[in-house]
């Protein structure tokens, strides 16, 4: 079995790895690190939770250990789709560079430009950024990418989902043609393949798992949800979630709950807290400092339930998440793999449950087709009051109003009289377009005209 000591890494990096408690690299790390150290482009395809971050941070640190940074010209660049993932990558660099004098800057939204400008002006070895904020700095004239020796694109398929591909292509064009590129993705959509063919030079391809497969140590289940009444659907779906959590008991030490919409994230978190479950929301509309604090509380065990949108589906390194609950079936099948990949990490076992409404059955079928297996159906542990019986059909008014033949009322009823005591004059002139409903005052005016 390969060990980190077999990968020809800098001794100071090996010391940091040992202090972090790691000894054996994952398959993606064992394949990517030697190729990257040799200066080759790398195309890594692996599902989430397989250790992709160390696959590029460790060889980058090894190669950057010699040399020095120049002002406004970073020596390496890491592109991430979300702020959370970028912050996670930055933490990895801090862990593995503790015995080396390398500098870094984190360029993400929600943080002032002034602080970031100050770091760039000093010169950084590693620049970790989201595409939008990176281009903001470049357009302000605060950043040059002509000194980039190593460029990393992390979670490329997520970049595609979020519409960042045009930005990625532009950033590639701003870096030197001679750069080394390390490109990582969980899936290889046609658009991703086109980019790798365009911007990577004879890459070493490392694929450690069948594309878009869920980890085998994650037990999966789906509840086919049917509300007792349409107006109770939202509340009964939340009751189903609570029942699933309760059914797991103490085995559910903590969990990430995924919703498709930000509004549902907030509602679901508020509902859980109302019923005594310790929960907090995280999505793109929240302030960055609040998002980071919520994540830190969850990592430290101070928060049991993290209710999230897909902004949190990738790159969150919380090794000990016991459960994932999909409150909604994801609209993109690939997102299911990334969501449930938050549990069952680092060789641990995990559980993932999903609630599927009638309208989500097509999305469920797409998920099962992608992972190439049927997700076991689970009985809904929540019990709902039966819907009230439908009222007896009423006789239509038109039918009820018809008198039956031989009815006494029919025989005795006199012809109805007009409300107006004055009888309608058949000789009254008619006005075109008004039919027989000519107001008497208008009719009178015609009579007066004739008389005159």
**pLDDT of 438:** 54
Summarize pLDDT for 263-285 with one digit per residue, the tens.
999 999 999 999 999 999 998 77
**pLDDT of 416:** 47
Identify which has the larger pLDDT, 192 or 433: 192
Confidence of residue 82 (pLDDT cuts 50, 70, 90): confident
Query: What average pLDDT does the segment 103-129 reach?
Result: 91
Query: What average pLDDT does the segment 305-320 reach?
Result: 75
Summarize pLDDT for 59-71 with one digit per residue, the tens.
999 999 988 888 8
Summarize pLDDT for 92-108 with one digit per residue, the tens.
999 999 999 999 999 99
**CATH code matching the domain that covers 4-207, chosen among 3.40.190.80, 3.40.50.300, 2.90.10.10, 3.40.50.2020:** 3.40.50.300
Query: What average pLDDT does the segment 233-251 reach?
Result: 95
**pLDDT of 443:** 52
Percent of residues, the chain, with pLDDT higher than 70: 81
**pLDDT of 212:** 57
CATH fold of 218-371? Rossmann fold (3.40.50)
Of the candidates 155, 73, 169, the one whose C-alpha atom is nearest the C-alpha of residue 121 is 73
Of the candidates 350, 357, 374, the one whose C-alpha atom is nearest the C-alpha of residue 264 is 357
**pLDDT of 317:** 67
Collect all residues with Cβ–Cβ distance below 8 Å to 363 and sequence separation of at least 6: 329, 330, 331, 333
**pLDDT of 160:** 84
Q: How far apart are CA 343 and CA 430, in angstroms?
A: 83
Give the chain's length: 452
**pLDDT of 124:** 93
Identify which has the larger pLDDT, 226 or 46: 226
Confidence of residue 423 (pLDDT cuts 50, 70, 90): very low
Summarize pLDDT for 161-188 with one digit per residue, the tens.
788 999 999 999 999 999 999 999 887 8
4-207 and 218-371: identical CATH topology: yes
Confidence of residue 437 (pLDDT cuts 50, 70, 90): low
Confidence of residue 314 (pLDDT cuts 50, 70, 90): low
Q: Where are the domains of the chain?
A: 4-207, 218-371, 420-452
Determine if residue 301 is left, alpha or beta; phi over 0 gives left, psi from -120 to 50 gives alpha, anything else beta: left
Confidence of residue 313 (pLDDT cuts 50, 70, 90): low
Percent of residues, the chain, with pLDDT higher than 90: 56
Cα→Cα distances 48→157, 237, 317, 334, Å: 11, 28, 10, 11
């Amino acid at each position: 079995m390969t060990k980190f000591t077999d990968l020809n890494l800098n001794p100071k990096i090996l010391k940091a790895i040992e202090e972090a408690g790691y000894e054996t690299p994952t398959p993606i790390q064992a394949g990517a690190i030697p190729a990257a150290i040799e200066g080759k482009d790398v195309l890594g395809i692996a599902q989430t939770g397989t250790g992709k971050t160390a696959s590029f941070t460790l060889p980058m640190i090894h190669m950057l250990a010699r040399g020095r940074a120049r002002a406004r010209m970073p020596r390496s660049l890491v592109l991430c789709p979300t702020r959370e993932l970028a912050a996670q990558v930055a933490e990895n660099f801090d862990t593995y560079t503790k015995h080396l004098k390398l500098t870094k800057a984190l360029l993400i939204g929600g943080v002032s430009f002034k602080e970031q400008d100050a770091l760039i002006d000093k010169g950084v070895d590693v620049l970790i950024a989201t595409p939008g904020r990176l281009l903001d700095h470049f357009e302000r004239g605060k950043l040059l990418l002509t000194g980039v020796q190593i460029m990393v694109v992390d979670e490329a398929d997520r970049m595609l989902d979020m519409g960042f591909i045009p930005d990625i292509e532009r950033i590639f064009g701003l870096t030197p043609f001679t750069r080394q590129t390390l490109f990582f993705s969980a899936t290889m959509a046609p658009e991703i393949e086109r980019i790798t063919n365009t911007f990577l030079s004879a890459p070493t391809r490392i694929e450690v798992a069948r594309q878009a497969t869920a980890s085998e140590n994650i037990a999966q289940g789906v509840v086919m949800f049917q509300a007792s009444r349409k107006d109770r659907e939202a509340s009964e779906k939340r009751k189903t979630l609570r029942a699933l959590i309760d059914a797991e008991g103490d085995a559910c030490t903590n969990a990430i709950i995924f919703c498709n919409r930000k509004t549902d994230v907030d509602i679901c978190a508020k509902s859980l807290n109302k019923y005594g479950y310790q929960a907090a929301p995280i999505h793109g509309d929240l302030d960055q400092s609040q998002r980071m604090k919520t994540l830190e509380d969850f990592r430290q065990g101070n928060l049991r339930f993290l209710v999230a949108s897909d902004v949190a589906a990738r790159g969150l390194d919380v090794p000990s998440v016991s459960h994932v609950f999909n409150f909604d079936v994801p609209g993109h099948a690939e997102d299911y793999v990334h969501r449930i990949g938050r549990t069952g990490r680092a060789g641990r076992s995990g559980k993932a449950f999903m609630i599927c409404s009638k309208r989500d059955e097509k999305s469920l079928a797409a998920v099962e087709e992608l992972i190439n297996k049927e997700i076991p159906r689970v009985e809904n542990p929540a019990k709902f009051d039966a819907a009230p019986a439908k009222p007896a059909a009423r006789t239509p008014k038109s039918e009820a109003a018809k008198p039956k033949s031989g009815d006494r009322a029919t025989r005795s009823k006199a012809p109805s009289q007009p409300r107006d005591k004055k009888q309608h004059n058949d000789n009254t002139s008619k006005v075109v377009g008004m039919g027989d409903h000519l107001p008497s005052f208008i009719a009178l005016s015609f009579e007066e005209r004739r008389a005159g």
